[in-house]
Structure 1
Amino acid sequence: MVGRPSSRGIPPWSMAVAAMLAVQLSNSLSVRVIEQVGAGGTAWLRMCFGVAFLWIIARPAVRSLRRKDLPALLALGVVTGFMTTFFLAGVERIPLGTAVAIEFLGPLTVAGLMSKQRKVLIWPLLAFVGVVLLTEPWHGNIDLAGVGFALAAGACWGLYNVFTQHVGDRFSGISGLSLTIPIAALATLPVGLPQVIGGDLTWWVLPAAAGIALITPVIAFGLEMLALRRMTHAAFGTLLSVEPAFGILIGLLVLAQTPTLMQMLGIAIVIVAGGAAQRGGVRTADPVTTTDLPATATKETP
């Protein structure tokens, strides 16, 4: 019998940080693929290759599914697929760091709504001020479509965090991903497949999409699900406050996107708002999985 890898010795915050870096790296590497097959095609290819990798690592335990599991699994799969699709459509039009900051409004608002203190809802408003500084609408060259796609991705991101914790509490390891990513691929197929067929599918596109898929969704989403099993929504939402900074950093290093001083101020405001929105720690106890998967459901990886 193959044992399941344990993440108990790894701090959950470190897994969340690694996941954020992996997500932004994969998004920056996706830009060249987007130029060939579009944002929808790139997102769909990432999901398809993600399914292949996940099914090699963790066989989907379909027999362990219960009827009451299906709504959360379907919802998580759909929001995962469109979170990626909308965000890549935003990155196609606006800088990576700006897109991340706008998208961050989604989970920040969810973190505020999940809090018992209504006054914390002031922080999403402060973050919005930071986003205004980032987009600099007074220059008259703001890409409204790009902003709109990033906002739509943010709404999906907020829902993704909620459903990820629910599914992660029910399924051990990354077995939940092996069930939800196929749903994400099916949900985005009507958008992605036509772009892939009509795009410039040169020889390197498929290997590049496969490599990116290994980073996200496989590694990044797996780390997020493991982290959310041991963190509160508030703690995870607070930690997410550094993600816009990661977006700026990766955009600078990989895409040579240099922000202005005003945009740096906007990012700083978004980060401060995110950090101040919630304060919390690790979940007081490990979630109880009512019907955990058998030990043979996942394969140990080196």
Structure 2
Amino acid sequence: MRPQSVILPVALVTLGMIFTQLGASFAKMLFPLVGAAGATTLRLTLAAIVLVTLFRPWRHRLSPAQWRDVLIYGGMIGVMNLLFYASLTYIPLGIAVALEFTGPLAVALVGARKPLDFAWIVLAFAGLALLLPLGQGEGDISLIGVALALATGVCWAGYIIFGQRAGTGGGPHITALGVAIAAMIALPFGAATAGTTLLDPAILPLGLGVALLSSAIPYALDMAALPHMPSRLFGILMSGQPALGALSGFLILHEKLSPWHIAGIAAVIVASLGATVTIARNAPPKV
């Protein structure tokens, strides 16, 4: 794979990351109204409606193997979102994003071969350690929230792997199917906790904004990019998520950044950029 051939996929993934963190910040506004599961349901259901309407997946036929990958891909999206939003009820957004990053980082570790690749991974780990506000007198971190965020990371790893498999030879209709499956998984949990509040006209515009920013646009961009880039590159690119989450929290939620946070952000950004350059250069050609 030539370095030039990953420029567009890298740009699409980066744009999707920005939208994701903006959506996560806005989603916190829904928690007092519909709860974490309700916010997840609104996000995925509205995103599914938009994607299915635009890409009309019923016009495409899938093989049994592709259906299997799409079902797992959609399941990963649904469970990942439920777990992530649930974790936000126990721990801050920046910590949750940092902990869930263990999933894509594990994908990166599996494929790493050259010493320089491991150097970027070590740098990303150091940045994540600096982003965790441990020992700073800000209160204890809930073990329940930590466990939920780490479980989110496992689903994120599955999202990367099965998203690449399902998207190979496919198109945006695969994303529409995956998000629709995810919405069906989340719907019973949202209905049980929020009930008819999910249909409140005053809430729907914010829910739609979160759906577009957090699900519809990023998943479509990821699906367009994943078949054209190594999963290892995608995984290490995701190291920018904690940095973007912290920046989004600062700009939208007015969360202050400590010097440790700034150092952590710098570390993960350097790791992401360095990994992008070296892995794009060293990746074997596709056949």
Match of 1:113 among 102, 110, 130: 110
Match of 1:205 among 203, 214, 225: 203
- After TM superposition, the structure 1 = structure 2 runs for residues 219-230 of structure 1, keeping only pairs within 5 Å, are 219-230=217-228
Q: Deviations over 1:50-94 (max 9, x none)?
A: 111112101113651211112211111011012122222223333
Partner of 1:85: 82
C-alpha contact 1:133 1:262 (8 A) present in aligned 2: yes
Partner of 2:164: 165
C-alpha contact 1:47 1:181 (8 A) present in aligned 2: yes
Give me the whole-angstrom Cα distance separating, in 2, the residues matched to 1:137 and 1:267: 16
SS at match of 1:155: helix
Q: Deviations over 1:166-187 (max 9, x none)?
A: 1111312x11012111110112
Tell me the matched-pair count.
Answer: 279
Match of 1:237 among 231, 235, 238: 235
Q: Say yes or no: does 1:69 pair with 2:72.
A: no
SS at match of 1:256: coil
C-alpha contact 1:244 1:271 (8 A) present in aligned 2: no
Q: Say which structure is richer in helix.
A: 2
Tell me the TM-score normalized by structure 2. 0.84
Partner of 2:94: 97
C-alpha contact 1:37 1:201 (8 A) present in aligned 2: no
Tell me the TM-score normalized by structure 1. 0.81
Give me the whole-angstrom Cα distance separating, in 2, the residues matched to 1:257 and 1:170: 42
C-alpha contact 1:229 1:286 (8 A) present in aligned 2: no
C-alpha contact 2:79 2:182 (8 A) present in aligned 1: yes
Partner of 1:215: 213
SS at match of 2:101: helix
- After TM superposition, the structure 1 = structure 2 runs for residues 19-58 of structure 1, keeping only pairs within 5 Å, are 19-58=16-55
Partner of 2:148: 149
C-alpha contact 1:108 1:274 (8 A) present in aligned 2: no
C-alpha contact 1:107 1:157 (8 A) present in aligned 2: yes
C-alpha contact 1:38 1:199 (8 A) present in aligned 2: no
Give me the whole-angstrom Cα distance separating, in 1, the residues matched to 2:228 and 2:15: 15
CA drift of 1:227 comes to 1.4
Partner of 2:183: 185
SS at match of 1:32: coil
Give me the whole-angstrom Cα distance separating, in 1, the residues matched to 2:162 and 2:81: 16
Aligned-partner residue type, residue 92 of structure 1: T
Give me the whole-angstrom Cα distance separating, in 2, the residues matched to 1:79 and 1:226: 18
CA drift of 1:247 comes to 0.7
Name whichever of 21-30 and 61-70 sits farther off: 61-70
Aligned-partner residue type, residue 46 of structure 1: R
Match of 1:194 among 178, 185, 192: 192
Partner of 2:262: 264
Give me the whole-angstrom Cα distance separating, in 2, the residues matched to 1:250 and 1:241: 15
CA drift of 1:145 comes to 2.5
Give me the whole-angstrom Cα distance separating, in 1, the residues matched to 2:73 and 2:114: 27
Aligned-partner residue type, residue 66 of structure 1: S
Partner of 1:135: 132
Give me the whole-angstrom Cα distance separating, in 2, the residues matched to 1:86 and 1:228: 23
C-alpha contact 2:87 2:149 (8 A) present in aligned 1: yes
Give me the whole-angstrom Cα distance separating, in 1, the residues matched to 2:71 and 2:111: 22
Give me the whole-angstrom Cα distance separating, in 2, the residues matched to 1:25 and 1:251: 8
Change (3 A) 1:284 1:226: farther
C-alpha RMSD over aligned residues: 3.0
Partner of 2:244: 246
Change (3 A) 1:9 1:164: closer
CA drift of 1:129 comes to 5.1
C-alpha contact 2:239 2:268 (8 A) present in aligned 1: yes
Give me the whole-angstrom Cα distance separating, in 1, the residues matched to 2:106 and 2:120: 8
CA drift of 1:238 comes to 2.8
CA drift of 1:118 comes to 9.1
Give me the whole-angstrom Cα distance separating, in 2, the residues matched to 1:201 and 1:92: 22
* Structure 1 residue runs without a partner (length 5+): 1-7, 288-302
C-alpha contact 1:133 1:266 (8 A) present in aligned 2: yes
CA drift of 1:223 comes to 0.7
Partner of 1:297: none
C-alpha contact 2:98 2:132 (8 A) present in aligned 1: no
CA drift of 1:270 comes to 4.4
